[in-house]
Structure 1
Amino acid sequence: MKSIGDVLSGDERWQRLMERAKQSEDKLYSHELIKGLTSRFPDRKFGLSELYEYRDTNMYCANCKGLEECGNFFKGHRQTPVEENGRVRMVYAPCDHQCNYEQQHRLKSLIKSQFVPDHIINTTFESLEKDAGRIEAIKAAINFCVGFERGKTTRGLYIYGPFGVGKSAIAGAMTQELAKRGVDVLMLYVPDYLMEIKASIETGGMEQKLEALKKVSVLILDDIGAEAITAWTRDEVLGPILQRRMEKLPTIYTSNLKLDELEQHFARAKNSEPNYKSAARIMERIEPFVEYCEVKGRNRRRERK
């Protein structure tokens, strides 16, 4: 009587299946991702299912088009080897886009005063009108986003010009582009943020709100110089934020004021004598760490109305 093994071994269909499985396995082991994994952990015996998941999830990431189009079963996650106590195990770890999404969510829950209109925050570089008055500023903004590297990029931009020429739209496009690239970025409207900080003295949470701005990889301060500045918000809020960030983390500014006008604004705080020394101290935390980008042109805000 033939054994089951004899029957199966003589079955041509079974042989073909076995050959395909062997070819698939050989192809798997020859894949550059798998060769890199096994050479990194030569003593770890990986199961086939682990290797297939590692290859497939990381292949999706190699051709990533953003979190919304993620093709992995666990959206925003991929198989990753983790060493613990001398042992290697495979886990689903969040990718940069997922980490950025979670960080953005934490920031938004903490900082309520963004109040940046949807048409600004949803702007992209593709949708920006690239007229002569702002093309150089747009180029500088794109170069910043493309060239940004955590731990290396420390200089930001100071985007200034008259009302309605599109400074905030350029900053909004930067927010979108950086977020797509997995960079934690926060854009907020300075006048409202400072009002929120004042209110949080009574309600609590001021230190958390300040700390978030000190640590975010890219901070965009929209319409600086439009706030009703006081000596306290200048010296105890803006000062410490910029002090922590300078030479370490880039800050982007939009303003209707030139730098010398901004210094005058800081010097003439409400309900106090002019203090040019304190204003100069703030400017020393801004001027050396930005590229100046002037924006000209027509008032698009009036056109929308």
Structure 2
Amino acid sequence: MKEIGKELAAYLDQKRLRASYASILHKVENDPDVRAFLQANQSKLATDAVSKGSAKLYEFVNEKEKIANNQETFAPGYYPRLIVNNHLIDITYEPQPEKMAADAAAAKDALVDAANMPKDFKDANLRDYDPAGREQALSEALSFVADYQPGQFSQGLYLTGNYGVGKTYLLGGIANALADRHIRTVILHVPTFSVEMRDAISDNSVLKRIHRIQDVPILVFDDIGGETLSPWFRDDVLGVILQYRMQERLATFFSSNLSMKNLQEFMAAGRNGQDDSLKANRIMARIKFLAKEVNIEGPDRRQQIVGRTN
């Protein structure tokens, strides 16, 4: 093995730095990873590789020490590794397991676009879903996740039931399970979305916003029927998106406090008492093509959570 101590000492003497860097020399020449690297690569390294690579060796040892002491490093989340580069010593940085896990979690989170949704939605997990009164809904959700294949049409779910029974949470569990398979989901809270689209009229960005979401692999309309009735939103926003997704056979989900029958009645109400049944029928035909109605029963999950925290 190359005598790292003598070679590095000679280099430091030449630079008149030995007195200042005595501790550095000791640290580097006695580092087991440095010695193992030189031993393993002695046939690949140039004769002056240690002197030319002394700064790299010091950087390697110093960064390792910072990581061990939980100090701020040159490349947070990355671990230094010595390599041979053109017969000289070089250093590269590889992600630590914690960094890799954090990156994977961030990538998964990016697959679920859930603006304006509560935290329990983003943390939802099908394994934690209480099946009491919700057996069919959970079974349908698990079947969808297991069977869904991008590029092939799978009918989504129209989840209906009283406030707080777990409709939105179940949709979150589906979205997060699909994210594990690298499948993107966009969730729209319909009352909020309707306001945003109305505001988009002022900057002429309605179509741009529609095009941005209409072709995502999985699209969720949460709390449809909870918005203030607007024939414009029904026909020129919701109708356009649903028509596109029906034509392209894209999986679409809904949640609502209204059954499909009651949603149709809601959609049929026009301005000034006008009967918009024909337009409502067109909307509902698209919804029924895209999703299967499933009623969810059971106790109010929100009240159960509050009770456990009191």
Q: In which range does the TM-score fall when normalised by the shorter chain? A: 0.5 to 0.7
Instruction: State TM-score, norm by structure 1.
Output: 0.63
Q: CA RMSD in A?
A: 2.9
Q: What percent of counterpart residues are identical?
A: 28
Residue 205 of structure 1 and its aligned partner are, at CA, apart by: 2.5
Residue 68 of structure 1 and its aligned partner are, at CA, apart by: 5.5
Q: Distance in 1 between matches of 2:272 and 2:302?
A: 32
Q: How does 1:58-207 map to 2 (within 5 A)?
A: 69=101, 104=111, 108=113, 114-131=115-132, 133-207=133-207
Q: In structure 1, the residue corresponding to 2:286 is in which secondary structure? A: coil
Deviations 1:4-43 (Å, cap 9, x if unpaired)?
xxxxxxxxx99xx9xxxxxxxxxxxxxxxxxxxxxxxxxx
Distance 1:181 1:68, change over 3 A: farther
Q: Distance in 2 between matches of 1:68 and 1:156?
A: 33
Q: How does 1:1-305 map to 2 (within 5 A)?
A: 69=101, 104=111, 108=113, 114-131=115-132, 133-247=133-247, 248-271=249-272, 273-305=274-306
Q: Distance in 2 between matches of 1:278 and 1:154?
A: 25
Query: 1:83 corresponds to which residue?
Result: none
Amino acid at match of 2:263: L
Residue 273 of structure 1 and its aligned partner are, at CA, apart by: 1.1
Q: Distance in 2 between matches of 1:276 and 1:266?
A: 8
Q: Distance in 1 between matches of 2:226 and 2:251?
A: 21
Q: Distance in 2 between matches of 1:220 and 1:226?
A: 14
Aligned length: 212
Deviations 1:135-160 (Å, cap 9, x if unpaired)?
21011011111111111024111111
Residue 186 of structure 1 and its aligned partner are, at CA, apart by: 0.7
CA contact (8 A) 1:231 1:272 kept: no
Deviations 1:207-262 (Å, cap 9, x if unpaired)?
22111221100001111111112110011010000000015101001111111111
Residue 171 of structure 1 and its aligned partner are, at CA, apart by: 0.5
Q: Distance in 2 between matches of 1:296 and 1:134?
A: 6
CA contact (8 A) 1:138 1:170 kept: yes
Bigger Rg, structure 1 or 2: 2
Residue 180 of structure 1 and its aligned partner are, at CA, apart by: 1.4
Q: In structure 2, the residue corresponding to 1:215 is in which secondary structure? A: coil
Q: Distance in 1 between matches of 2:194 and 2:168?
A: 18
Deviations 1:94-146 (Å, cap 9, x if unpaired)?
xxx95x766x48xx5xxxx8311011221101121221x10210110111111
Residue 272 of structure 1 and its aligned partner are, at CA, apart by: 5.4
Q: Distance in 1 between matches of 2:121 and 2:100?
A: 20
Residue 271 of structure 1 and its aligned partner are, at CA, apart by: 4.6
Instruction: State TM-score, norm by structure 2.
Output: 0.62
CA contact (8 A) 2:144 2:154 kept: no
